[in-house]
Amino acid sequence: MARTYGFLSTYAPTQCGLATFTAALLTHLVAATPGSEGRVVRVLPAADRSPVTGTPVVHQMTPGAVEAAADELNRCDVAVVQHEYGIYGGVDGDDVLGVLARLRVPVIVVLHTVLSAPTPGQRRVLDEVVAHADTVVTMSEEAARRLRTGYAVERPDDVVVIPHGALTVGPAARTGAGPMILTWGLMGRGKGVEWGISAMHALRDLKPRYVVAGPTHPNVLAQEGETYRRNLRNRIATFGVADLVEFDPTYREAGALAELVSQADVVLLPYDSTEQSTSGVLVEALAARRPVVATEFPHAVELLADGAGLLVPHRNPSAIASALRLVLTEPHLAARMTAKAARLAPDLGWPAVANRYRAVAERLSAARVVVTT
Domains and CATH numbers, the chain: 4-164+349-372 (3.40.50.2000), 180-348 (3.40.50.2000)
Mean pLDDT computed over 121-137: 97
Whether 8 and 26 have beta carbons less than 8 Å apart is answered as: no
Q: What is the pLDDT of residue 1?
A: 85
Among the residue ranges 47-51, 334-338, 340-344, the one predicted with the least confidence is 47-51
**Percent over 90 (pLDDT), the chain:** 84
The strand order across the sheet containing 245-248 reads 245-248, 209-213, 180-184, 266-269, 292-295, 309-312
Mean pLDDT computed over 266-271: 98
Nearest 10 degrees: Cα torsion 203, 209, 214, 216? 50
Cα 40 to the center of its chain, rounded Å: 18
The DSSP code for 219 is H
Strand pairing report for 135-138 and 209-213: unpaired
Is the pLDDT at 362 greater than 90, yes or no? yes
307-335 tens-digit pLDDT: 999 999 999 999 999 999 999 999 999 99
The answer to whether the bond into 51 is cis (omega within 30° of 0) is no
Is the pLDDT at 151 greater than 70, yes or no? yes
Whether 240 and 266 have beta carbons less than 8 Å apart is answered as: no
Alpha-carbon distances, residue 128 vs 95, 118, 142, 193, 367 (angstroms): 12, 14, 20, 36, 22
Q: What is the pLDDT of residue 333?
A: 97
Is the pLDDT at 168 greater than 90, yes or no? no
Is the pLDDT at 373 greater than 50, yes or no? no
pTM for the whole thing? Answer: 0.93
Nearest to 135 by CA among 116, 149, 118, 153: 153
Among the residue ranges 30-44, 159-173, 223-237, 312-326, the one predicted with the least confidence is 159-173
Among the residue ranges 53-67, 164-178, 203-217, 357-371, the one predicted with the least confidence is 164-178
What is the pLDDT of the chain when averaged over all its residues?
Answer: 93
Q: What is the pLDDT of residue 167?
A: 87
Three-state DSSP class for 255? helix
Q: How confident is the model at residue 372 (pLDDT cuts 50, 70, 90)?
A: low
**Percent over 70 (pLDDT), the chain:** 94
142, amino acid identity? E
Alpha-carbon distances, residue 13 vs 17, 20, 52, 81, 265 (angstroms): 12, 10, 8, 19, 31
Q: How confident is the model at residue 32 (pLDDT cuts 50, 70, 90)?
A: confident
Q: Which residues contact 215 (CB under 8 A, 6 or more apart)?
A: 15, 186, 187, 221, 249, 250, 251
- Whole-angstrom Cα distance, residue 96 to residue 87? 9
238-252 tens-digit pLDDT: 999 999 999 999 999
Beta strands in 163-202 (DSSP E): 180-184
